[in-house]
Amino acid sequence: MKSSISFLFVIFILHLIVSVTAGSGYYGNKENNNDEDQETSNNPNLDDLPSTLPEEYLPELDDNGLSSSYYLHSCPEAEAIIFNIMEEWSTKDETVLPSILRLFFHDCVVRGCDASILLNHEGSERTAEASKTLRGFEVIDEIKKALEEKCPKTVSCSDILTAASRDAIHLLKGPYWMVPYGRKDGKVSNAKEADDLVPMGRESYPSLLELFQSMGLNVLDLVVLQGAHTVGRATCGSIQERIYNYNGTGQADKCIDKQYLNYLTRKCRWASEYVDLDPITPNKFDAMYFKNILDKNMGLLATDQALTSAISTSKLVSTFVNAPTLFDYQFGASMNKLSKVKILTGDEGQVRTNCNFVNSNHY
């Protein structure tokens, strides 16, 4: 009798170890065992198991309440699902990749990174004048739908947008970095706040720096994150004043390279036309953007060229021209820093089941 019980005890312990390693708790054998010495305590009822993971298996959170392993047990395929859909979209329309990055930046500027830009109702940020050329909403919707099918009510829209932005840069041959997760989605979205806060490319350097500092970012972050303009496009409407009537002079901004200006005036007769932010390597994430503004005066937006107007920013631009790998590294670091601006965690927000709408009270 003793040897039989010992043998069963060993089997039970091994079963426990295998089950816990798989991250799924432990489950007793539900089939009847002919061995009359099998103790019923070795076959726990599933209803008696804890509904949450043991404390030792919960992710270790950083000071912001985030963790790169946040979905390790609750939705282990989350990152793969996000990347695969981003990759699929990139093969259909590569221009959507920088659009996702722009969507992320607009979101974080207003109320922090809480996916408020995705809310779709009258008077939301999405309806603001500053948001009228934003694209990529359908990509996030597709990702959210796939994640809801795999892991219902688990992955927040703000985490999706953060990871999708990282993947967009990587798919454009840019750097890859670890993303910490655990953000919750906001419930408020206001168009006026977006129009008041989101920079439109005409701001002075001091006002742009003031905005970044209000978000807990510094001069280095400003220069690095503006380096995202090495990919993507802008509407001609955003630069027509600069190339036709700069500061009301009836002339173009004298800082613009003459040959480049000639190209822009021919390209941008209509405000609805698009022009590449980086005219040299527009579809590749690299440090060419900095070389354009430093050596060639080919910054498309006034805020691009303004990076050479102050000693502190000009030195950083020069550094990234000479050390592009440093730019890659710092871009990941600054993006991570941006992704933690005024975030909601725990009970401060919610995990929307549809990124376009706040959950109902019955959620």
Q: Are 140 and 164 in contact (CB under 8 A)?
A: yes
User: Among residues 106, 121, 170, 362, which one is catalytic?
Assistant: 106
**Beta bridge mates, 233:** 276
- CB hemisphere CA count around 176 (13 angstroms): 6
Q: Is 170 annotated for ligand binding?
A: no
Q: Which two tokens stand for residue 227?
A: 């380096």
Q: Which two tokens stand for residue 255?
A: 């800082």
Q: Is 52 annotated for ligand binding?
A: no
Q: Is 114 annotated for ligand binding?
A: yes
Q: Are 164 and 82 in contact (CB under 8 A)?
A: yes
Q: Is 156 annotated for ligand binding?
A: no
Q: Is 221 annotated for ligand binding?
A: no
Q: Catalytic: 106?
A: yes
Q: Are 175 and 228 in contact (CB under 8 A)?
A: no
* Residues 300, 201: Cα–Cα separation, whole Å: 9
Residues 6 or more apart whose Cβ sits within 8 Å of residue 36: none
Q: Is 281 annotated for ligand binding?
A: yes
* Residues 351, 183: Cα–Cα separation, whole Å: 9
Q: Is 107 annotated for ligand binding?
A: yes
Q: Is 195 annotated for ligand binding?
A: no
Q: Is 199 annotated for ligand binding?
A: yes
Q: Is 230 annotated for ligand binding?
A: yes
Residues 6 or more apart whose Cβ sits within 8 Å of residue 168: 86, 90, 97, 98, 100, 101
Dihedral class, residue 324 (left if φ above 0, else alpha if ψ from -120 to 50, else beta): alpha
Catalytic residue positions, numbered = 106
Q: Which amino acids are annotated as binding site for Ca(2+), given as ranges?
A: 107, 110, 112, 114, 116, 125, 230, 278, 281, 286
Annotated binding site for heme b: 229
Extract the annotated binding site: 107, 110, 112, 114, 116, 125, 199, 229-230, 278, 281, 286
**Known binding-site residue numbers for substrate:** 199
